[in-house]
Structure 1
């Protein structure tokens, strides 16, 4: 599994993430992983479920990505909040 796919799976497993959003993408053979750019610096774009403080969730998502990508800078963009 490509690193971008591993990051995608880890983010989608987080209870506050409703889905990944456009803004970043990784292009793989026959597929693109929308919402994740995995290079020297990782960028992710997410839509969150409401109910938790956004800064706390962003910090958790950085940790989730670091477990997959290692010690690289991680940019987390909160593109939207899901309607309850």
Structure 2
């Protein structure tokens, strides 16, 4: 599923300038978390779709202080309902 499949979420999409990492804070944080599963310098082509999905699920199930100690998955499910 993708966000396009969830029109009732009413999400805003923001675009950042190229080479402006400070404009993409949450994206950079996600990349840091992803590096726990995929070391920097290793091509993503070495990983199966299933491995990528499992890594993403693991990250989305982590509780985070910024989310008031909820996981991204919990927040997503609340928004869906």
Per the normalisation by structure 1, the TM-score is 0.30
State the TM-score, normalized to the length of structure 2. Answer: 0.30
Larger-gyration structure (1/2): 2
More helix by share: 2
Structure with more contact order per residue of length (Cα contacts < 8 Å, sep ≥ 6): 1
Identify the structure with the greater strand proportion. Answer: 1
